[in-house]
């Protein structure tokens, strides 16, 4: 299981407090190598710890004119609806991560499709990446992170009950493209 998809403003990672190399308490300062950003530097072994953005990867699983949404069984946004997505793991590609999350959260049978959206959320240091996916069945076996997995037409989507803005904005663009009968790649920012 991946880390829970807690990708919200509340999910700023706490700063590094102890050196990952030797366990000493780190100091936040400019490193000695000319770096212009303050980092967590270990006074004992001099290891510099870099804090970089996280990728959240997921899919838009679709069957004819309906899209699969998952009702969250975990905080944050417990009980709200989302696309299957979660933090990318080490040693996997974006596509592999998106497929893994779809299997874990929805237990869906699907064929991964084309890349669809890249959403920067610079404020919280995250990039969200969604692939399209073609559902092969309308039977789902959601994992523990999901209360319920269900198909929705555009009109049926509970727009006021969507867990995350990245998901709502991605869904809007998806249905726009679907109506037009032509899908393109969408890159946009959310503050
Ligand atoms: Zn150290």
Tens digits of residue pLDDT in 72-115: 999 999 999 999 999 999 999 999 999 999 999 999 999 999 99
- Report the pLDDT value the prediction gives residue 13, as an integer from 0 to 100: 73
Compute the CA torsion angle 166, 167, 169, 171 (nearest 10 deg). Answer: 160
Distance of CA 4 from the midpoint of ligand 1 (Å): 29
| pLDDT, position 188 | 98
Encode 63-88 in three state secondary structure: ECCEEEEEEECCCCCCCCEECCEEEC
CA of 87 to the centre of ligand 1 (A): 27
pTM recorded for the entire structure? 0.89
For residue 49, how far is its CA from the centre of ligand 1 (angstroms)? 10
In this predicted structure, what is the pLDDT of residue 9? 42
127: helix, strand or coil:
strand
Residue 176 per-residue DSSP state: H
Write down the pLDDT at residue 12: 61
Six-digit token pair at 125? 């240091």
Q: What is the DSSP secondary-structure string of 2-51?
A: PPP---SGGGPPPPP-B-TTT-PBPEEE--TTS-SS-EEE-TTT-PEEP-
Interval between CA 18 and ligand 1 midpoint (Å): 8
pLDDT at res. 27: 96
Report residues of the chain scoring pLDDT below 70. Answer: 1-12
Ligand 1 midpoint to CA 46 (Å): 6
Cα(109) to ligand 1 centroid in Å equals 46
């Amino acid at each position: 299981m991946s880390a829970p998809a807690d990708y919200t403003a509340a999910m700023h990672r706490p700063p590094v407090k102890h050196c990952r190399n030797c366990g000493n308490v780190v100091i936040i300062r400019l490193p000695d190598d000319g770096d212009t950003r303050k980092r967590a530097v270990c006074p004992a072994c001099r290891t510099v710890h870099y804090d970089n953005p996280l990728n959240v990867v997921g899919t838009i699983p679709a069957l004819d004119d309906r899209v699969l949404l998952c009702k969250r069984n975990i905080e944050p946004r417990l009980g709200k609806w989302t696309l299957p997505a979660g933090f990318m793991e080490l040693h996997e590609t974006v596509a592999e991560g998106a497929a893994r999350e779809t299997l874990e959260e929805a237990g869906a049978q699907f064929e991964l499709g084309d890349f669809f959206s890249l959403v920067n959320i610079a404020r919280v240091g995250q990039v969200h990446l969604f692939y399209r996916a073609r559902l092969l069945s309308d039977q789902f076996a959601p994992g523990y992170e999901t209360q319920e997995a269900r198909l929705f037409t555009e009109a049926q989507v509970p727009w006021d009950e969507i867990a995350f803005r990245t998901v709502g904005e991605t869904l809007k663009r998806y249905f726009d493209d679907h109506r037009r009968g032509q899908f393109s790649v969408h890159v946009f920012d959310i503050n």
